[in-house]
């Protein structure tokens, strides 16, 4: 695709909805910081006073990747043991574990997934402190939960969830930060790091012509691998999902650590690999993996620092200087949203309505 597409007006064209919703993300981040944070802090304060002993996160698909980010935050920043709920143990097998004093966070765009609603209700009956984090305050999930956090993304009409994903990440970040306690030396106000996020997101979205040129590189790719580590591993998973549902590309996401335990064997000089390389400990841990990928001749596309992009086959430099690693996933996914949109269009597809239609909005 060599020409830009109109963002406004009555003209209908494939991908119009996804394109507009990707572009809205800076405004959504600004709305959460201005209007959503007081409610998030209020909920977190009540929960912190009840001193949960453990946390469980429940979600599927895109929301599941946001929940995984929340898991990293809870474990690293709050020192709270945390797991991902297996909802079928409750909904299919009828298990009723004792969840007294457990923080149960259900993440869902629309909040209508029957198994998520049933699992959350069962958790509440079993003694859990239940929180629904959704883009729909009138949802069934919000109704069965003790607490609800609205991510304020606004209506999302394209089937691939984009703005609700970044909204969920920021809302989870604010929630975990407001819980207090945990990581030594991390009790300071994060406002200086949070305030620039909307402007940095605008800067990234404005570079869509750069992404369009990069997308043409993979127009005829037959499969892709996405890898990262730490806080950015959920970004790799979400990028792989978007490649599959909008471009119909077989895409596999691996932790950098897992790449070295078998999957590296399938990488050769015709393999396209996207590496999300955060500026921080996760990026440092990923460097040996990048060295191995380069040694195998992989076509390595890096999302990250200028240093790592220069060493790759292609890449996109993120404006993350001064942004803590734990906040970088909110920015990392933006060029990948644009990449999947542009690649889908270049391959002749409509990213607004993936042809499989296997995923419904209620399951997001």
Neighbours of 210 (CB within 10 A): 14
In the structure encoding, which two tokens stand for residue 360, read together?
A: 């419904």
Superfamily of domain 17-196: Glucose-6-phosphate isomerase like protein; domain 1 (3.40.50.10490)
Is-contact 358 21, C-beta < 8 A?
no
Q: How far is CA 322 from CA 21, 77, 219, 250, in A?
A: 27, 18, 34, 35
Residue 340 confidence (pLDDT):
97
pLDDT tens string 18-29: 999 999 999 999
Q: How far is CA 185 from CA 14, 44, 143, 160, 188, in A?
A: 48, 20, 37, 38, 7
pLDDT tens string 104-126: 999 999 999 999 999 999 999 99
Residue 336, sorted as left (phi over 0), alpha (psi -120 to 50) or beta, turns out to be: alpha
Enumerate the domain spans of the chain: 17-196, 197-354
Is-contact 66 74, C-beta < 8 A?
no
Superfamily of domain 197-354: Glucose-6-phosphate isomerase like protein; domain 1 (3.40.50.10490)
pLDDT tens string 233-243: 999 999 999 99
How far apart (Å, rounded) are the C-alpha atoms in residues 136 and 74?
24
Same CATH fold assignment for domains 17-196 and 197-354: yes
Alpha helices in 127-278 (DSSP H): 140-144, 163-179, 191-194, 197-205, 208-215, 233-247, 256-259
Residue 68 backbone phi and psi in degrees, to 5:
-65, -40
Of residues 331 and 271, the one with the higher pLDDT is: 331
Q: How confident is the model at residue 358 (pLDDT cuts 50, 70, 90)?
A: very low
How far apart (Å, rounded) are the C-alpha atoms in residues 228 and 256?
5
Burial category of 360 from C-beta neighbours within 10 Å (exposed 0-12, middle 13-18, buried 19 and up):
exposed
Tell me the pLDDT of the chain averaged across its residues. 92
pLDDT tens string 186-203: 444 677 899 999 999 999
Q: Name the nearest CA neighbour of 200 among 335, 338, 63.
A: 335
pTM for the model stands at 0.93
């Amino acid at each position: 695709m060599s020409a830009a597409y109109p963002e406004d007006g009555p003209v209908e064209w494939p991908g119009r909805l996804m394109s507009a919703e990707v572009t809205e993300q800076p405004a959504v981040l600004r709305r959460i910081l201005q209007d959503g944070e007081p409610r998030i802090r209020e909920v977190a304060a009540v929960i912190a006073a009840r001193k949960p002993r453990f946390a469980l996160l429940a979600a599927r698909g895109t929301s599941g990747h946001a929940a995984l980010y929340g898991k990293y935050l809870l474990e690293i920043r709050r020192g709270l043991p945390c797991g991902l709920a297996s909802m079928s143990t409750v909904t299919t097998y009828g298990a009723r574990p004792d969840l007294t004093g457990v923080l149960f966070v259900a993440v869902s765009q629309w909040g209508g997934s029957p198994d998520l609603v049933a699992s959350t209700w069962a958790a509440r009956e079993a003694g859990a402190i239940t929180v629904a984090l959704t883009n729909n305050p009138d949802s069934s999930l919000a109704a069965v939960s003790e607490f609800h956090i609205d991510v304020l993304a606004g209506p999302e009409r394209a089937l691939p969830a984009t703005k609700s994903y970044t909204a969920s990440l920021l809302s989870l970040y604010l929630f975990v930060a407001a819980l207090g306690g945990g990581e030594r030396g991390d009790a300071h106000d994060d406002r200086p790091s949070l305030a620039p996020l909307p402007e940095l997101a605008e800067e990234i979205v404005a570079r869509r012509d750069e992404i369009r040129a990069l997308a043409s590189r993979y127009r005829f790719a037959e499969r892709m691998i996405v890898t990262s580590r730490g806080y950015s591993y959920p970004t790799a998973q979400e990028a792989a999902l978007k490649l599959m549902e909008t471009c119909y590309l077989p895409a596999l996401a691996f932790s950098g650590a897992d790449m070295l335990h078998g999957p590296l064997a399938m990488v050769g000089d015709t393999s396209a690999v996207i590496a999300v390389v955060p500026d921080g400990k996760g990026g440092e841990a990923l460097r040996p993996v990048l060295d191995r990928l380069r040694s195998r001749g992989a076509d390595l596309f890096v999302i990250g620092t200028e240093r790592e992009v220069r060493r790759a086959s292609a890449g996109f430099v993120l404006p993350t200087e001064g942004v803590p690693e734990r906040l970088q996933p909110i920015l990392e996914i933006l060029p990948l949203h644009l990449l999947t949109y542009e690649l889908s269009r270049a391959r002749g597809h409509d990213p607004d309505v993936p042809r499989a239609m296997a995923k419904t909005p209620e399951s997001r």
